[in-house]
Chain A
């Protein structure tokens, strides 16, 4: 599949790799090259600089370069199109897939990701991220919310209240994301709404990443006394499914969209089902 679209948005895919390639806001005639894929950071077990391992309390990758989940393979894809929804199913690996979905009439791109069980037979703990790469000139800045209210500007390798000498180029730039993270240049803004709190960052200009799942093999020696290695009822690693909503807009009007959409996401309607035809609730 090369593209999916609705009244407001068109999404282009790279026919060779199967990855997301470009997002177009048809209402504003804006288009932005956006590459998105899943990677994993190899969890540190401590090294000669510091014995600190990655664990429940601490995120510490053992290298700044995450490894692509799909390796060097093409992402296998297939297309579903009907009157109400157009979607591209992407398979990054046996434990990582995603559906890129456009609902009729909706101005955002829905990424429904499914990750797990994270394989650890190789003895390495893994911290899985969804990373977006764009051509936005972000000048080391990105923006994260605090409890869905205040938006804070973050600057790579910098703290506004003290002189930071950065010792962790990745973990030292991760921040809590409760409902949204965005990057922008002078004209355009790419916002990602989350359906739960995650860790997020912008490790290089034009990029944005969110951590969606972790499975670790060592305790981080901060008190819990066991690795972060939650298992499901089947004693396999947990499988997690969630959604990221992408909004591409001008900087001026981005807030109009993401503020209302974030509320809708946070207080989404709840489906309740019934066989129907039950007796009247009131006599007569």
Chain B
């Protein structure tokens, strides 16, 4: 069961000028971080339930919180993608700096890029699947998004 009140409470507590400005003692900063982490944990469940209902399929939705250092266990475990992708936006190699940052957090060597857009209020769904060699190359297409 998802719940947004934990995050609301954590953000409410973090309205204190110390939390906003980072002028608190270290252990207080750690406590703010802990409350926020617990908050978004249960709020992500709520969003996942909403997406399942809106998209019509039950999924094990994953929010990769470390995408800013190219860490996402789900996609890394979902098999390799050839780096010689023609046509598409291609694959951008992950910089040594980012690899150093993420330490043992992930093992991907590149990021698959494609251009995407989402409606101002709503979501778009994109599927990345690996075709067998024999399949003709298809142009990337988006599954139609229900109008609402």
A84: Cβ under 8 A from any B Cβ: yes
| CB-based closest 5 A-B pairs | A84-B89, A274-B59, A82-B90, A278-B59, A56-B23
Known interface pairs A80-B93, A83-B89, A230-B29. Does A224 touch B23 (Cβ–Cβ under 8 Å)? yes
Q: CA separation between A276 and B63, bound complex, in Å?
A: 14
* A83 & B63 in contact (Cβ 8 Å cutoff): no
Contact of A57 among B23, B58, B63, B115 (CB under 8 A): B23
* B92 & A114 in contact (Cβ 8 Å cutoff): no
**Residues of chain B from 89 to 104 with CB closer than 8 A to chain A in the complex:** 89-93, 95, 97-98, 101, 103
B60: Cβ under 8 A from any A Cβ: yes
Task: Number of B interface residues at 8 Å Cβ cutoff, please give it.
Answer: 48
Contact of A97 among B57, B62, B92, B97 (CB under 8 A): B97
Known interface pairs A84-B90, A84-B115, A273-B64. Does A280 touch B57 (Cβ–Cβ under 8 Å)? yes
Instruction: Sample 24 A-B pairs with CB under 8 A, ordered by A number.
Output: A82-B92, A83-B87, A83-B90, A89-B97, A91-B97, A99-B95, A224-B24, A224-B25, A225-B25, A228-B22, A241-B69, A269-B118, A271-B64, A272-B47, A272-B51, A272-B123, A274-B59, A274-B61, A278-B60, A279-B58, A280-B57, A281-B55, A281-B56, A282-B56
* B95 & A241 in contact (Cβ 8 Å cutoff): no
Which of chain A's residues has its CB closest to B29's CB? A230
By a beta-carbon cutoff of 8 Å, the part of chain A in contact with chain B is 56-57, 80, 82-85, 87, 89, 91, 97, 99, 104-105, 114, 224-226, 228, 230-231, 234, 239, 241, 269-276, 278-282
B52: Cβ under 8 A from any A Cβ: yes
A273 to chain B, nearest CB (A): 5
Secondary structure at the A interface, as helix, strand, loop or mixed, is loop
* A275 & B74 in contact (Cβ 8 Å cutoff): yes
Q: List 13 extra interface pairs beyond A91-B97, A272-B123, CB under 8 A.
A: A82-B90, A83-B88, A89-B95, A89-B97, A97-B95, A114-B97, A226-B26, A230-B29, A269-B123, A272-B47, A273-B74, A276-B59, A280-B58
Q: CA separation between A155 and B26, bound complex, in Å?
A: 35
B72: Cβ under 8 A from any A Cβ: yes
B67: Cβ under 8 A from any A Cβ: yes
Q: CA separation between A274 and B60, bound complex, in Å?
A: 6
Bitwise interface map of B from 110 to 130 toward A, beta carbon under 8 Å scored 1, else 0 = 000111001000010001010
